[in-house]
Amino acid sequence: MFIFSDLSRAVIDGDTEQVKSLTQEAIETGISPQEILDKGLLSGMDEVGKLFQAQEMFIPELMISAEALNAGLDMIKPLFAEESKSNKKKVVIGTVQGDVHDIGKSLVSLMLGSKGFQVNDLGIDVSPADFVSAAKASGAQCVAMSAMLTTTMPVMKKTIDALLENGLRDKVAVIVGGAPVTREFAERIGADGYAPDYLTAVETVEKLLSNFDE
């Protein structure tokens, strides 16, 4: 469908107004939010990643593309929320300290919310101490961490250590993800779960928390 390639192009161009208008058109045409996201918005960001890698796009353009993508995402968020049914289990989520990439983390957060989890999204650049205090304060059953830089992956291990030091490690399941994170890395740092994408992340949290009381 042309609308998907047009939407991807608008993300690549960082054209927020065009992203908004095409997203609106796609919603009105009855295209599912999942398709708008995967075939339009994210496929555009995939291309942005390739252009950046090839040094054909630079940081300021990346930021503008991310803003444009987020504008479309904001419009489809309520459509995911309509499917929600509360299950009362609590998840604290964030992008780890030193890391400002928020798109993948926000998608995991959105999908968990749409499945009825009570999500406390701490945003980006979240320190181990902040994960610990949020988990403690909310009585969360799960801590979910995203990292997009090889240099920030070690913060995931530091956060697991901080949960242990604060007596929370056996009370929360820890799931990690993000482009450079692998299952092998997750196992090595003692995480309970790993997911390569936002849909698997939700399935993994559901599985991990199926044995926790509400």
Residues near ligand B1M (CB under 6 A): 42, 45, 48-49, 52-53, 59, 62-63, 66, 98-105, 107-108, 144-146, 148-150, 175-180, 195, 197-198, 201
Among residues 29 and 56, whose Cβ is nearest to ligand B1M?
56
Distance, in Å, from the CA atom of 136 to the CA atom of 113, rounded to the nearest integer, reads: 20
The distance of closest approach from Cβ of residue 160 to ligand B1M in the complex, given in angstroms and rounded to an integer, is 13
What residue has token string 């997911």?
195
The distance of closest approach from Cβ of residue 108 to ligand B1M in the complex, given in angstroms and rounded to an integer, is 5
Among residues 26 and 174, whose Cβ is nearest to ligand B1M?
174
Reference 175, options 196, 152, 191; nearest CA is 191
DSSP string computed for 146-180: E--STTTTHHHHHHHHHHHHTT-TTTSEEEEESTT
Among residues 64 and 79, whose Cβ is nearest to ligand B1M?
64
Q: Residue 46: what residue type?
A: D
DSSP string computed for 84-97: ------EEEEEEBT
The distance of closest approach from Cβ of residue 103 to ligand B1M in the complex, given in angstroms and rounded to an integer, is 3
Among residues 29 and 179, whose Cβ is nearest to ligand B1M?
179
Phi, psi (deg, nearest 5) at residue 158: -60, -35
Among residues 28 and 54, whose Cβ is nearest to ligand B1M?
54
The distance of closest approach from Cβ of residue 180 to ligand B1M in the complex, given in angstroms and rounded to an integer, is 4
